[in-house]
Each structure stands twice: as C-alpha cells, then as structure tokens.
C-alpha cells in the first residue's frame, strides 16, 4: 500500500496540470459545500431564535375543537375557539421539567370600523398581559412612535404594516395618544398632502366569533411598532391588553369573576330591581360604532378601568405558547404533552411552531430544500468535470499504464494506484476547501449583514445573516467530499483498468 501511494504522489507531480485542474475543482466544491452547510445551520438556528424566541415559542397549545394546525396565519380568518381552563393547563405544564416559560394569549380577528364612512378593514389581535409577553419575548417589539403600554390601563399597540394597510383602505392614519403627526413615517404620496389625511389616536374594533357575541369597543393607540424581524409577515398582528381583547371578542373576562363563578354580566340579570339598563350604561356602550360619550377621547371600557385586584387567568384565552428549555427535543415533548393532555382531559393539543405558522413554516422547509438542491447541482457539476478530466488523464497515460501492465502490473494494482491518486487530491485540495469554507463562514458571521427584506430574513434566519458551522457540519462536508470523489472516480477507474499493453503499442 505504501508503494502505491508513493507511485500515486509521483504520478500526480508528473501530471501536475491535470492534478491542478482536478484539485481546484475539488477545493471550490468543498468550499461551497461547507459554506452551504453553514448557511443552512445558521438559518435553522436563526429561525428558531427569531420565531420561537420572538413570536410562537416551541409549541402552541390550542383547543381540540380547532381542527387545523395552522393557528396564526389561517388566510380565511377562521376563529380559534376559547380556552377557559388555563389554570388547570398551567398546573399541568408546571409539573414538567422540560418547560421553561408559558404565555397565554388571545388570538382572533376583528374589524377596524371606519368612522369616516366606507368599508371597514381587518386586523389580527393578540390579547396579552404585556409584562408576561415582554418577559417571554424581550426583544421582539421596537417602538417607532409612542410608548410601551402602561400597566393597568386598556391599550393597543399597532404594527407599522397594519397601520399602512388601514390607511390604504380608509385614508385614516393612526398615531399614538398624546402624539402629533410624524410626517417622516408617511408614504411618499401622503407626504405631499399630509392635510388630506384623517389623523386619529383611537380606533373602534368590532370582534367576531362563532357565537356572534362580540362587542364594539374603542381603544387608544399606545404605540406604533415594528417586529424586530419578519415584520412584513407578522405585521397584521396588533397587540392589545387581554381584558379589552376578551371584551371585543365577547369572551369571559377576568373582571367579571364573582364568588360562585357567576359573572358580573350574569349577576346583573338577577338584580333585585330587575333593571337591565345597567347592562348598557356607562362608557362601555358603542352606539352606531361610536362611543356613548364622544367627548371622552381617552375612553376606557368600564370593566377594564379597575384591574389592580384581578387575576387575569380567570378569563378566557385562545392559545398557550410554550417555550422549552434549551436542548429539549420539541417533537418528542409535543407527543409527551399531548398524551398528558388527553389523560387529564384538558381539551387541548400541542402543535409545533412550524405547523402553527402554516405557509411560513413550510417556506422555511422550501428554502432548506432549495439550498439542498443547489448543493446537489454542485455535486453533479463537480462529478461531471472531474470524470471528464480523470478520463482524459487516463487516456493520455495509456502508454505509461500499458507499460506497467506489460511488466506485470495487474488490473487491481492499476485501479488502486488511480484510486490513491484521486483520494490524495481529494484529501489535500478538498480538505483545503473545507478549511477555507470554515474561514468564509466565520468572516460572514462577523460581518453581521442585516436586511429588512422578509424573504432575505427567512434565508438569513433573522434580521442578521449569521451562518455557523458545527462539528457535525464539518463532518458532513467531508462526507459530501468523499461521495463526490467516489462518484467521480468510478468511470475513469474502469477506463484505466481496461488499458492493455497492446493499447500502449497502438497509442505509440
């Protein structure tokens, strides 16, 4: 074997032109494959950080009554059923050592009524306790105008994309309460005639659900914000306080909780005076899509005005987001939790974040598939070029190989020699390509290239391009290199073994 490698190295030097061509191809191929592996790994990690740690958590718990796995981006606006037993669900989750954080929330669609006349627009609502939301997703919201919501007050945070869509449909431009119009955020056409805009700091929402028991309410805009990454995809999702959300959708509110589990709304029906007018008095009434007291600009729903002693978990939610500890397998945990939920008859099920995001989750798979196809095409091109170059080298060396056969070299020896030459080139130049690829991945990561384009952000795995290589990725690069080498050497190896001493005579 040592003799074969000595002959192989000598032959590589003698035919250095062919060796350099093949080596260069192997080096470039290994470099690109290594960078590709780093991009895929970086995208996986980035998406997990951006989406899982910024929007969905690892798992999303939804009512068993909801048949689809697409929880967030159902295009037809299908209503997500309420969950009324969150405390029991929380107690079950707290028993698991795999769960890091949980975040209950409301999620459904509402109409933004056009008080200036005309058609309403639509908005996805995420009803949350903002302190909980910020604790689970601390870096997800960048306020552009206004401020973060104040504790204990009704509020709505409007995404920039949703504000633009509402403006396109209604010519209404919403700004935060106590703020003046910032023309720098207007579209180019609106900047020319800002006086033509209808500027408002509060909006009227009309929720709707399967029971048709929703309510119209008016809320002040606390702030206008952007999601840190994938803002174009997530822009329809406005944030609002959970109690106002429940009131909008007609769900059971925490502020309605009474001893004996009777709501304030129901207890009024059995009041001694039998006066049902109490149900429809105060500032919580909207008549003809307008508040009962138009003079009160900072209108606050009656039930939401006193919240200091309310346990928000007494009310209804639609989803529970579950963030697992680092390193926990989400797929296995989903199966284990679903079994617990069935055993405890909690009426919920878990779906993973990719399922919950519907088409966006599928898009990430498509991007990874596209990268895999790109690398596969590189494999094919590299194999074809190397096969062609090695075949030409074998034919040009017909006299040399024929002479070796004439002095007693067997086909096996010729095949091993040819294989050793290719393996040496692959190890030397391919290994160099992998090393250079690792350097390129590290440099790209250090550059911290950023983009606000959502398609690029999906490719990046977030707002910043940070490819990364693990030991497994480097091992995969060597495996891919070995596969390319083995596939490329088969035909030239057969060709070299078929050369006879007579072929050498004819060649001369």
Check whether residue 147 and residue 228 sit in a common domain: yes
Phi-psi region of 462 (alpha: psi -120 to 50; beta: other; left: phi over 0): left
Q: What is the mean pLDDT of residues 2-12?
A: 62
More confident: 277 or 433: 433
Distances (CA, A) of 335 to 86, 103, 342: 20, 20, 11
pLDDT given at position 296: 36
Check whether residue 104 and residue 10 sit in a common domain: no
Q: What is the mean pLDDT of residues 444-451?
A: 87
DSSP letters, 71-113, are -S--TT-PPPPPB--HHHHHHHHHT-TTEEEEEEEEEEEEEE-
Residue 193 within any structural domain of the chain: yes
Residue 8 within any structural domain of the chain: yes
Residue 356 within any structural domain of the chain: no
Residue 2: exposure state from Cβ atoms within 10 A (0-12, 13-18, ≥19) = exposed
Check whether residue 122 and residue 232 sit in a common domain: yes
pLDDT given at position 289: 39
Check whether residue 46 and residue 64 sit in a common domain: no
Q: How many CB atoms lie within 10 A of CB 206?
A: 17
Residue 6 within any structural domain of the chain: yes
Classified as helix, coil or strand, 64 is coil
pLDDT given at position 273: 45
Check whether residue 239 and residue 177 sit in a common domain: yes
pLDDT given at position 286: 40
Check whether residue 8 and residue 93 sit in a common domain: no
Structural contact between residues 222 and 130, judged by C-beta atoms closer than 8 angstroms: no
Q: How many CB atoms lie within 10 A of CB 196?
A: 9
Contacts of 108 (CB under 8 A, 6+ apart): 79, 80, 124, 125, 207, 209, 249, 318
Tokens of residue 198, six digits: 């209808």
Check whether residue 310 and residue 384 sit in a common domain: no
pLDDT given at position 100: 95
Strongest mean pLDDT among 40-49, 138-147, 301-310: 138-147
Structural contact between residues 105 and 127, judged by C-beta atoms closer than 8 angstroms: yes
Q: Could you give the CA distance from residue 323 to residue 104 in angstroms, rounded to a whole number?
A: 12
Check whether residue 68 and residue 183 sit in a common domain: yes
Residue 466 within any structural domain of the chain: yes
**Cα Rg, the chain, nearest whole Å:** 33
Q: What is the mean pLDDT of residues 36-62?
A: 87
More confident: 182 or 317: 317
Residue 111 within any structural domain of the chain: yes
Check whether residue 242 and residue 183 sit in a common domain: yes
Q: Which of 345, 343, 363, 344 is nearest to 353 (CA)?
A: 363
The confidence band for 488, taking pLDDT boundaries of 50, 70 and 90, is confident
What is the reported pTM? 0.74
Counting the structural domains of the chain, the total is 2
Residue 410 within any structural domain of the chain: yes
More confident: 310 or 225: 225
What range does the domain containing 243 cover? 59-270+299-327
Average confidence score pLDDT of the chain: 81
Structural contact between residues 352 and 332, judged by C-beta atoms closer than 8 angstroms: no
The confidence band for 505, taking pLDDT boundaries of 50, 70 and 90, is low
Q: Which helix (H) or strand (E) holds 144?
A: strand 141-146
Among 46-60, 296-310, 425-439, which is the least confidently predicted range?
Answer: 296-310
pLDDT digits (tens, 9 = 90+) for 278-337: 444 444 334 333 443 343 333 445 444 455 578 889 999 999 999 999 889 999 999 999
Is 53 a residue whose pLDDT tops 50? yes
pLDDT given at position 292: 35
| φ and ψ at residue 172, rounded to 5 degrees | -100, 130
Check whether residue 161 and residue 45 sit in a common domain: no
pLDDT digits (tens, 9 = 90+) for 382-427: 788 888 888 887 787 778 778 877 887 788 877 788 788 788 888 8
pLDDT digits (tens, 9 = 90+) for 322-365: 999 988 999 999 999 999 999 999 999 999 998 998 877 777 67
Q: Which helix (H) or strand (E) holds 396?
A: helix 359-396
Q: Which helix (H) or strand (E) holds 392?
A: helix 359-396
Residue 257 within any structural domain of the chain: yes
More confident: 460 or 107: 107
Q: What is the mean pLDDT of residues 12-27?
A: 76
Check whether residue 11 and residue 32 sit in a common domain: yes
Check whether residue 44 and residue 104 sit in a common domain: no
DSSP3 helix / strand / coil % (the chain, rounded to 5): 55, 15, 30
Q: Which residues pair with 104 in a beta bridge?
A: 320
Q: Which residues pair with 216 in a beta bridge?
A: 206
Is 432 a residue whose pLDDT tops 90? yes
pLDDT given at position 448: 86
In which residue are the tokens 């929330």 written? 105
DSSP state at residue 317:
B
């Amino acid at each position: 074997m040592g003799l074969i490698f000595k002959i192989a190295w000598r032959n590589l030097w003698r035919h250095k032109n062919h060796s350099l061509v093949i080596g260069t191809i192997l080096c470039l191929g290994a470099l690109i494959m290594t960078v590709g592996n780093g991009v895929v790994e970086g995208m996986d990690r980035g998406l997990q950080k951006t989406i899982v740690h910024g929007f969905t958590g690892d798992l999303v718990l939804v009512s068993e009554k909801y048949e689809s796995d697409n929880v967030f981006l159902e295009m037809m606006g299908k209503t997500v059923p309420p969950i009324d037993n969150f405390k029991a669900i929380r107690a079950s989750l707290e028993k698991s050592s795999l769960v890091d954080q949980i975040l209950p929330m409301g999620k459904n669609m509402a109409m933004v009524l056009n008080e200036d006349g005309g058609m309403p627009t639509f908005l996805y609502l995420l009803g949350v306790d903002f302190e909980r939301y910020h604790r689970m997703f601390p870096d997800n919201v960048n306020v552009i105008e206004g401020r973060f919501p104040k504790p204990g007050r009704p509020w709505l945070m409007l995404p920039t994309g949703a504000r633009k869509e509402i403006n396109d449909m209604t010519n209404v431009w919403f700004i935060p309460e106590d703020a003046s119009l910032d023309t720098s955020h207007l579209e180019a056409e609106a900047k020319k005639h800002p006086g033509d805009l209808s500027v408002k700091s509060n909006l009227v929402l009309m929720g709707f659900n399967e029971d048709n028991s929703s309510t119209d309410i008016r809320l002040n805009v606390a702030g206008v914000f952007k999601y840190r990454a994938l803002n174009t995809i997530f822009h329809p999702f406005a944030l609002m306080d959970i109690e106002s959300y429940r009131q909008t959708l007609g769900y059971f509110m925490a502020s309605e909780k009474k001893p004996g589990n009777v709501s304030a709304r129901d207890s009024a029906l059995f009041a001694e005076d039998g006066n049902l007018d109490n149900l429809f008095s105060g500032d919580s009434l909207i008549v003809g899509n307008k508040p009962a007291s138009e003079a009160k600009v900072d209108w606050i729903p009656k039930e939401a005005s006193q919240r200091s002693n309310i346990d928000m978990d007494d009310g209804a939610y639609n989803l529970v987001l579950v963030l697992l500890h680092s390193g926990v397998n989400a797929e296995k945990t989903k199966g284990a939790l679903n079994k617990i939920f069935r055993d405890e008859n909690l009426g919920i099920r878990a779906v993973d974040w990719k399922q919950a995001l519907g088409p966006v989750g599928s898009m990430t798979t498509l991007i990874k598939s596209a990268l895999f196809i790109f690398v596969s095409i590189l494999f094919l091109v590299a194999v074809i070029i190397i096969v062609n170059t090695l075949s030409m080298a074998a034919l040009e060396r017909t006299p040399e190989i024929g002479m070796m056969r004439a002095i007693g070299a067997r086909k096996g020896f010729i095949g091993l020699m040819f294989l050793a030459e290719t393996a040496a080139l692959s190890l030397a130049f391919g290994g160099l390509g992998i090393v250079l690829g690792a350097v390129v991945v590290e440099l790209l990561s250090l550059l911290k290239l950023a983009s606000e384009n959502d398609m690029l952000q999906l490719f990046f795995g977030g707002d910043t391009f940070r490819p990364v290589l693990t030991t497994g990725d480097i091992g995969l690069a060597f495996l891919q290199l070995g596969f390319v080498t083995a596939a490329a050497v088969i035909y030239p190896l057969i060709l070299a073994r078929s050369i006879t001493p007579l072929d050498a005579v004819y060649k001369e």
